[in-house]
Amino acid sequence: MRDTAPIRPEEQFDEARVATYLHRYLPDLFLCDDIRFDQFPGGAANLTYRAWCTEGAEYVLRRAPLGVVARGGHDMAREHQVLSRLWRRYSLAPRAFHFCDDAAVMGKPFFVMERRHGYVVRRDWPDGFVGDVGRQFVVATSLVDALADLHAVEPDDVDLGGLGRPDGFVDRQIEGWSLRWQAAATRPVPDMVSLGALLARRVPTSQRTVVLHNDFKLDNTMIGDDGHLVAVFDWDMATLGDPLVDAGTLLAYWAQPDDPTRLVFGANAVAIGDVMSKEQVRERYAHRSGLDLEGIDFYEALALFRIAVIIEQIYARYVAGQTSDERFAAFEPLAPLLASAAMAVLSV
């Protein structure tokens, strides 16, 4: 299975310079004379490349996207910090080996991590999963279990006790994403303003402090042939905080047939909500984590708010001409739809 492609023209870099850097700082990983590069074309934000040798060695390079990025987002130093430690207790976290903070090497700071093999499920099920409800259900249960297992990791056990400030975390999230919306908005969306104010008035008390992935969803993971997860990716927003923030994010992306968000996620992701209901997700996560999910609607609405901002940030990059990826042209109506869906969740 080939999951890489030639590097998009606007996302190219000085390959000779990067190869020289890798030979100098990671000689035990890159033993060949001629390092080659291609790109993992999926994803909509951070840029991910493969560095490989014909002799068989291959690793992954991760860097922030082109142009000015939102403060606190696309943080390669943070992602490296997490992945260089978390793998010791959480096997689904690929190990990171090296961080380069010199933007002159690749255009932005980047890090090197191990390569995992499997399927990243986005628009379609891989061959062998199509029509196989049993294997699809394994994917769904494995995804829920992986989140609960992440939240069982003690931050201090992996030297991540200083990763964030858990006290007041959700309040800062609401304030921060509200400010990011103001910076990224390409047009007024009244529901986004109302939603930010409503969330700020309803913040629940956190039950536990955990390592948060902070964008946990199916297409940020990789599955094996049997349907079980083999990796969790995209840790650049990881921090310490309330575990239900991650659970709410998972539910927000878990669009069922009658959810308004099906219009947002249904065209670009497999219908995981057809495989396993949200109620089953809540029950399985609550049982495995031991957490009370009575207030989970707040966290799902918060997730929809955050996703709306993230999508708008990506769309704003397209409007500004910072990427030619035509997928992003269709993002224009999504933030208003997500804001409306979040208001509906809070009114239940």
Assess whether 257 and 340 both reside in one domain. yes
Assess whether 17 and 143 both reside in one domain. no
Assess whether 240 and 331 both reside in one domain. yes
In a domain, 123, yes or no: no
- 216 near 222, Cβ under 8 Å? no
Assess whether 321 and 196 both reside in one domain. yes
In the prediction, which pLDDT does 73 show? 56
Q: DSSP alpha helices (H): ranges in 271-321?
A: 272-275, 278-289, 296-319
Q: Which residues contact 257 (CB under 8 A, 6 or more apart)?
A: 271, 273, 274
In the prediction, which pLDDT does 259 show? 81
Assess whether 86 and 235 both reside in one domain. no
In the prediction, which pLDDT does 197 show? 95
Assess whether 170 and 237 both reside in one domain. yes
In a domain, 189, yes or no: yes
> Which residues of the chain have a pLDDT value below 70?
1, 43-44, 67-73, 266-269, 348
In a domain, 306, yes or no: yes
**For strand 96-100 and strand 110-114, is the pairing parallel, antiparallel, or unpaired?**
antiparallel
Take residue 96 and report the two structure tokens written for it.
């990171």
In the prediction, which pLDDT does 314 show? 87
In a domain, 283, yes or no: yes
Whole-prediction pTM: 0.89
Assess whether 164 and 70 both reside in one domain. no
How many domains is the chain built from? 2
Rounded distance between C-alpha atoms, residue 13 and residue 109, angstroms: 12
Question: Which residues span the domain enclosing 74?
Answer: 9-114
In the prediction, which pLDDT does 141 show? 98
Count CB neighbours of 42 within 10 A: 12
pLDDT tens digits, residue range 207-241? Answer: 999 999 999 999 999 999 999 999 999 999 999 99
In a domain, 233, yes or no: yes
DSSP secondary structure code for residue 67 in this structure? S
In the prediction, which pLDDT does 348 show? 63
Assess whether 167 and 253 both reside in one domain. yes
In the prediction, which pLDDT does 1 show? 59
Assess whether 106 and 178 both reside in one domain. no
Q: What is the CATH classification number for the domain harbouring 92?
A: 3.30.200.20
In the prediction, which pLDDT does 347 show? 85
In a domain, 121, yes or no: no
3-state SS assignment for residue 281: helix
| Rg of the chain over all Cα atoms, to the nearest angstrom | 20
